Amino acid sequence: MNHKTLVGSIALLLILVVLASGCGKSITTSTSVIIPSHAGSPIISMDINHLMRGERSKLAVYEDGYIIRTEEKGLRLPVYQSEHTPTRSWYTIQLEKEELTGLVDFFQNSGFMDMNQMYVFVGEPTDNGGKSFGDNFVTIIISYGDLQKSVNASAYLTYADMPFPLNEIYDRLWDIALEASFILSEIIPN
């Protein structure tokens, strides 16, 4: 092996070691920002999963009206491409007492408590004789006093297609989630 080949092989090996160790990633962390959290369990929560999009959202509503929304994106492979880097972001908002009371009242009076635990979309017929399904999986839970209920819906093409009042509760919670302020984002470690 000549000198140029040896030097080239060593340089290539060093580059591979640096990339494999993660030193080639540009990750910034800040110790001055604290990831949002809250004492106690949420009284209302909504989990949304989009398997094919590689996205997951969670909304947690606490008894004092404090809300934390967590968004995870880029969860679908291949994660090694920069456009698919998995990230997690946090958002928060504080509901007024009247808004929270109205939300809890809607759970109680809308028929949510009488819903089945699971709803699965049967599919929409396609031209080739198959069926079309969505990739959304939604779970909405209330755990507040006497109101204890969890309802799941999966494979609906749109949220509007979910049974009432689940679709209306989804809309109300998502509207609140969109008003939340961005707090922090991080790259999800492999």
Q: pLDDT tens-digit profile of 93-139?
A: 999 999 999 999 999 999 999 999 999 999 889 999 999 988 889 99
- The pLDDT, as a whole number, for residue 21 is 38
Instruction: Map residue 7 onto helix, strand or coil.
Output: helix
The CB density around residue 94, as the number of other CB atoms within 10 Å, is: 13
> Judging by DSSP bridges, how do beta strands 118-120 and 147-156 pair with one another?
parallel
Please, are residues 67 and 94 in contact by the beta-carbon 8 Å criterion?
yes
Residues forming beta bridges with residue 17, ordered by sequence position: none
Cα separation, 140 vs 173, in Å, equals 10
Q: pLDDT tens-digit profile of 29-69?
A: 444 556 778 888 999 999 999 888 889 999 999 999 999 99
pTM: 0.77
- The pLDDT, as a whole number, for residue 32 is 52
Average confidence score pLDDT of the chain: 82
- Full set of structural domains in the chain with CATH: 39-187 (3.30.1560)
pLDDT surpassing 60 at residue 154: yes
User: Residue 85 — pLDDT band, cuts 50, 70, 90?
Assistant: confident
Cα separation, 112 vs 151, in Å, equals 8
Q: pLDDT tens-digit profile of 127-149?
A: 999 999 888 899 999 999 999 99
- The pLDDT, as a whole number, for residue 36 is 76
- The pLDDT, as a whole number, for residue 47 is 97
Nearest residue to 89 via CA among 107, 70, 75? 70
Cα separation, 125 vs 25, in Å, equals 45
DSSP line for 86-150: -EEEEEEEE--HHHHHHHHHHHHHSSGGGS-SEEE---EE-TTS-EE---EEEEEEEEETTEEEE
| Cα separation values, 170 from 18, 78, 91, 106, Å | 45, 30, 18, 12
